[in-house]
Amino acid sequence: MPQPDVLISEVGPRDGLQSVHATMPTADKLRWIDALYAAGVREIEVASFVPARLLPQMADAAEVVRHAVSLPGLTVMALVPNRRGAEAALAAGVHKLTVPVSASEAHSLANVRKTRAQMVEEVRAIAELRRSLAPQVGFEAGLSTAFGCTLQGEVPEDEVIRLAVQCIEAGADEAGLSDTVGYANPAQVRRLFRRLRAELGDKAGAAHMHNTRGLGLANCLAAHDEGVRTFDASLGGLGGCPYAPGASGNVVTEDLVFMFEAMGVRTGIDLPQLIAARAPLMAGLPGEPVYGMTPEAGLPKGFRP
């Protein structure tokens, strides 16, 4: 079996589920993760380790991780906002940690009540913990609001790059860029990822794009043109952006996989099985809107990935 050309990292079970009001029952989460795995998805962000009183949707994080790590060849990832979260995630057995570091100072203070500099120190603390407890575990910093922020507007590109460098110096393996509020456009994505890759080389991480203003796929393609090979996406676009009522949030995994496969870029994912993975998602969150052009239209006649 040839190696995929790109890695599609499914973030729905974390980013999607913590963005909706309803809490998906644990059994449905596990069925959904199994269906994603059966479709060929090989990296899934399954949970975030935060206090259950803040995010009841993630109260079963350790149980979900324990199930996911039993699936051979799956990289099980969890989001951790601080050292305490990292301790819990490592104890549960995750393969990869991701910490959100906001490129916007205003967003950082509103979101985690810490400055950017304090978050870099949090990255350092998590890196030291990882080194002492589980050096084999991956560790990524995701720079949220890297392309703009609803609170402060423009986020200077020099500050984004400087923060990415600081995260790597603090001990993260890689630093990726997130369009948290859907402000990015393809020219900006090309420019910023070109700078990031020039600065960090192979430590430049994933593209996490949102489809809030309809540019999610175009922005992923722009990032791919600049050499990015890991893309975050959410099945059914789950996780509608709270800043744009009626707009889908994350890039739709099904549409992203279709785009790449139609171009001859191998994802390693079986599209009909991926579309079938919507069933356990919808069963676990009845009434929650799901998005996606490809599942609605079906695959073109004679389509060969």
Name the CA dihedral angle for 26, 28, 31, 36, rounded to a multiple of 10 degrees.
-100
For residue 212, the tally of other CB atoms under 10 A from its CB is: 21
Strands 204-208, 174-178: parallel, antiparallel or unpaired by DSSP?
A: parallel
Give how far Cα 184 sits from Cα of 50, 215, 233, 247, 298, Å: 28, 8, 16, 15, 28
Q: Which residues contact 258 (CB under 8 A, 6 or more apart)?
A: 271, 294, 299
Q: Is 241 a known active-site residue?
A: yes
Instruction: State how far the Cα of 116 lies from the Cα of 255, in Å rounded to an integer.
Output: 34
- Residue 276, Cβ density class (10 Å: 0-12 exposed, 13-18 middle, ≥19 buried): middle
User: Tokens 């899934």 sit at which residue?
Assistant: 44
Catalytic positions are 241
